[in-house]
Structures are given as structure tokens and as C-alpha cells.
Structure 1
């Protein structure tokens, strides 16, 4: 475990290197606006933000916004609203969440969390955290998973950590060492769970979920699950759904269920490969793009699961054949009010992707062009204010 000052020193060093890796001076691409057909009624959900990862090393993470009231989808809003931020959003947007009146974007390879006003998408500050991955919240604190080392494959890569951020002062106030290359997190009661992947140590993957007591901010146990863990969701029954990516050879992707009351794995859904998932009203929506190096191909599925019975309801929640148009599903979200299903297509990762909106019955409603590698969606109840 490194001390608070150790983490801050690493972050500072990483931040000092950022100008070296930022994109060369170029013309800022202005936002483009597209009016979609049949946007639906503006209700409790005013719109959503979509964070485009951008191909690693290209320094092209961008932010899009969809407005339910106008039906307008706007690409690349950050540059227009923050002309003074020279490097814009940076390299690889890995997560986006809303907490209070602020919008948080985790920028992995630029080693910071970008904090914006959720009503204007204007820059407030950046929090330096090395190789940051995902963010979760409880009370006044944000918790950010961090690989805590360079962005590189290394069989001797160090243990990762969780950085604790005070959302009032915007300072890192603590850190907790966990497993290797920690990914997504959920918080159940006073315990934080994080999926450890060990992805930098391939083929010696980690296979644990770390459990962190938030009172002491110490890891209290590790739960043995499966290799190369990634995604996590917490359902209303206190069950934690965890995805294993496998090793892309003979060990296939699968989905596991942990009971947060006992911290025990209670089920393995071997027939539910899992690349990404989201929960909505008792249903787990899952897509999988399971790559196999032996066949040099992806096996793509779109499933829904009843979380109470853990029974697979369908193997394809896209019912009208539109799934054949999607080359690389890369993002997934469900509107908690309308139950519209959103799936993004990264295509080749270096050119604009596509966002698909489906009705609850799985039929296509509309689609629109996004930024490069569209990946992460967060719904907002506050409508984004127009640019003055």
C-alpha cells in the first residue's frame, strides 16, 4: 500500500507528463446537432450524457448530450463549453457519473477525474489519480478505482488501490490497497466491493473481489470468484452481479452472483457470458462480445435475466434484427422511467460510432452518430442549459 502522499506524488508526476502526450495543436471540432425522430416525452429524465472513450493514445475522449425535450443529440459539447481547457477531455474516457450537482468523468490514460457542473458541463476542477478506472459514491465521498501504476502490460504490475475523494474539497483524503488492476465497484451498506482483473499480469490474472470497510477504509477480505473480473451491479435483494471476461481462449466469460450479506459466491451462470450489464426494475440487461483468439472471432449475445429467479428471459433483447447492424457493442444503458434500451456500436474504435435507441420491446426507435468509441451513459434529471 502506498501512502496518501505516495499516491499524490505519483499522480503529480503523471500530471506533469500529460503535456507530452496531449494532441498536437489542431482546429477544435465544433459540436454537431442532430434531431432524432420520435424522441419520446420529456419527463423525470431530462436527458443523458454519453462519454466517448476515443482510441487509446489519440487523446480524443469527447462528451455528447441528448435532450428529451427538444429531441436533439449534440456531439462534442465539452470543447464548446470549455474553450479555455486546451487538452479538452484527454485520453480514454472510462466512466461517467452524476453526484449532487456535479458531473464526474474518469479519464483513464490522462490520469485524472474531470469534474463539471451538471447543468452546464463546464469545467470545475480535475482530480489527479494515476490510471483511474471507475467511480462510485457514498455520502460526501467519491471512491475511484486505480491501477496505481503505468499504463502497460507487466507481469510484475503492482497492486491497485481505491482513492477516497472528498467531494467538498475535491482532494484525495485516503487510499486503500486492493487487488491487481481493480475495475468496477458497488457499495452495499458500509462495504465497498471492487472487481480485481489482474489484466496487466496476463496470463496470471487476479480472480478476487476485494471487500473494503468504509468506516476504517481497509480491505477486510477477498472473495475468490473467477479470473479477469470486470463489471459489477448491485440488485435490490443485496445480490452483487459480477462479470468474468475469461482469458479469451479456453476459459470463457461468465456471470457470478455474490450475496453481500455473507460475502459468498452463491451462483455461477456459465451460460451467461458478460461484456457489459445494467440493472433496471428487476431485470439485468447483458451483452457479450466474447473474443476468441483461437477462432479469431467474436460471439455476440444480448440477454435479459430476471434477478429474483436468476433465470435467463431472452438471448436477444433486440427483436427486429437491428443487432445484425451492430459491429462492436460497446455501451449499454436503460432509461429507468421509459425502459428504452440504449446500445452503442464502437465499429473500428477510431471513427465515429453509433448510438441505437430501442423501445422496451426491442424494436429500433432511432439511431444517431456519436464520437469515437461511445461507451458510458448517465441519465440526468437536470436539463443541460444552452450555451449563452
Structure 2
């Protein structure tokens, strides 16, 4: 795992990103014009750029579907008094209600912003935080110290810590159960190999499901199944993709397919793999598309026009829930600005745009 891991117009009092009004106060290098993608349901999306660990260069971009404006580094522009910027290594981003939550791993915090303006509301302090999800009035945040933090979304105060496995990563909720992928990423070669199950009624861990070593991504489909990725050991055990049946809380399928990240849209899952091997000193990159209804591989690549050959390091993936466009980010050399690619459902490139350093996490904003 590589843990690398607006300027506001002075006369403007309220800035709404959902507006299609052109804002001439943005300097040219902080804005690009892309194709407009009007949507009844969606205003646009945020892209969180991780940036390299120690650089304190995490940043936030925004694409307005109505105007086609792609705005860069909007956190600093919306919050000019935040002299330290967004922080060090942006690791996750989610919208819940009217708020945008940005997990900043090495800065040990979750920034809480107004979803429509990116203006800062508050901060949640969680050491070595990784991922965030929500259930009712609570936020659940994984911390590498081996627990899930339970935070009240009204007060932004931590109410409880639920012990799980070592170095927990991504989470998913099915019914009243919270599933947590445990990695043990600091413990080579003795990685963790379980998914913790937390009862959201009692806020306690009830069991651990044995899956595979060094787990990372965890996504739920519409049928009550979980797709979980294993990063392997970077030597002889390759990465893999597993399916957990949440009715039985057991692994029911092993794909034997390299997987670093996965996005699920209705009956289809899109995934890529960047698999580093210490034996060869190189990455193996691959893509795939899966039918989650019958759990079969549809294609060994969802990119059909050859653009995959231009992507150096696929690093993030998301699917537009309305039109099923697929977004893939390219981290390139990890120190230069990256690229965001948009593909239609047929796998053909619609556009690309330059982002901040190490673009990684994307979330859609409703109107």
C-alpha cells in the first residue's frame, strides 16, 4: 500500500457550487472548461487529491455538471483563513445530509464542510483515520490504532471506540451490521485476514470473518453481498477479490482476480488492480468488469478504446449513479498533478482533466 499517501469574490457572501452561474473571480489555472453534463438529480462531484505523505498538499476539486466548470483547489479558496490547507494525505470523502466529510489520514482529522460551498464547519480529531461511513445519526471512522470511532454527527464528538482488527480499512453497512476490512498493514508478514462484524444496535463487534491477508476495499451490492479486496503480501501471495454472503457471514466465492479498488453500479462492478511485486520490482496493472447478480466476469477490461494504455497508475474509481459514466483517476508518478478520465458505459473516453497530486476519491453531490 502506498500511503502517499474558490479565490472567493470579495463581494460574494454565499457561494453555491450547485449554481450554473459563471464565476469570473476564479483565476484561469484553477479552472478548466469541460463538457456540461446536466443532470436532474446531481449537481456535480468532488474529487479528493491525496498528495504525497509529508507534503501537506491534499486538495479538493469540483466539477459542476450544469456549467461544465472543473474547479481546482476549492478548499483553500472557500476557506482562505485555513492557512495550513486541507492537510496531509486525503484518504476518504463522503457526503451525509448537508455536510461533506473529508478524512485526512496523516493530519489525524476529519474535516467537516458544507456540502454545497465547501466552507468549513468543524473538525473531528481521530488519530491515523482511514475511512468513514454513516448510519442514522452517527459517523463511523476507522482508525489504524485498531478501532472504529463512533461520532455523533450533530455535535461532531466521539462517543465510543469499538475495537476491531489491526489497521482497519474500508467499511460497508448491510442492514444493521457494519463490516470492517482489517488489514494488519503494519505487521508484515503477519497480516490480519478478517472482516469484523459490528452490531449497530449494540455498537459491539460480534464476530470476525476469516477471508484473506491484508484486506483493504469493501463494497456492498444490492443483493446483500460484500466484495472485499486483498492486497496479498507483495511477494508470493497475489491480490484477490472475495465475496461474502451477509446472510451467513461466510466467504462464498473467490474470483482469483487481481483487485485494488472496486466500484459497484447496480448489477455491474468495475475494478482495477495495481499490484506491486517486490520480487520483480514492478507493477502489474489490470482492469475488469463483473456481474454482481450472477457473480461472473463480464470482461477483463471495462475500457474499450485503448485509453487504458495511457493511464500510468490507476488510483481511484467511481461510477455516476445516474448515467453510469465511469471515472478513473491516474496518479502518474505520485509527485506531479494527476489526471481524471471519464468513460461512458460502453468504455469509451468522454474527456480527461488535470487534477491535483494523486487524485483518489470521488463523491457525487445531489441537487
Deviations 1:148-194 (A, max 9, x none): 2xxxxxxxxxxx00000000111001110000000000011111110
* 1: CA distance, partners of 2:262 / 2:335: 24
- Which of the residues 343, 357, 362 maps onto 1:372? 357
- Which of the residues 18, 39, 42 maps onto 1:42? 39
CA displacement at 1:31 relative to structure 2 = 6.5
Alignment of 1:82-231 (within 5 A): 82-148=79-145, 160-231=146-217
Alignment of 1:253-272 (within 5 A): 253-270=239-256, 272=257
Contact persistence 1:30–1:79 (CA under 8 A): no
- Which of the residues 55, 58, 69 maps onto 1:61? 58
Aligned-partner SS, 2:42: coil
CA displacement at 1:42 relative to structure 2 = 3.1
Contact persistence 1:30–1:76 (CA under 8 A): no
Deviations 1:175-217 (A, max 9, x none): 1000000000001111111000000111110000011111221
Structure 2 residue aligned with 1:6: none
User: RMSD of aligned C-alpha atoms?
Assistant: 1.1
> Runs in 1 of length 4+ with deviation above 2 angstroms?
38-43
* 1: CA distance, partners of 2:216 / 2:223: 21
CA displacement at 1:89 relative to structure 2 = 0.6
* 1: CA distance, partners of 2:136 / 2:244: 24
In structure 1, list runs of 5 or more residues that go unmatched: 1-28, 149-159, 383-388
Aligned-partner SS, 2:186: helix
- Which of the residues 338, 343, 361 maps onto 2:346? 361
Deviations 1:67-113 (A, max 9, x none): 01011111100001001111111000000000000000000000000
Query: Which has the larger share of helix?
Result: 1
In structure 2, list runs of 5 or more residues that go unmatched: 1-26
* 2: CA distance, partners of 1:85 / 1:313: 46
* 2: CA distance, partners of 1:207 / 1:301: 23
Contact persistence 2:222–2:266 (CA under 8 A): no
Aligned-partner SS, 2:77: helix
Whether 1:351 and 2:336 are equivalent positions in the alignment is yes
Whether 1:33 and 2:64 are equivalent positions in the alignment is no
CA displacement at 1:30 relative to structure 2 = 9.1
- Which of the residues 219, 231, 237 maps onto 2:223? 237
TM-score, structure 1 normalization: 0.86
TM-score, structure 2 normalization: 0.91
Higher mean alpha-carbon deviation, 79-88 vs 104-113, is at 79-88
Structure 1 residue aligned with 2:236: 250
Deviations 1:4-40 (A, max 9, x none): xxxxxxxxxxxxxxxxxxxxxxxxx99610001x333
CA displacement at 1:265 relative to structure 2 = 0.8
* 2: CA distance, partners of 1:264 / 1:189: 16
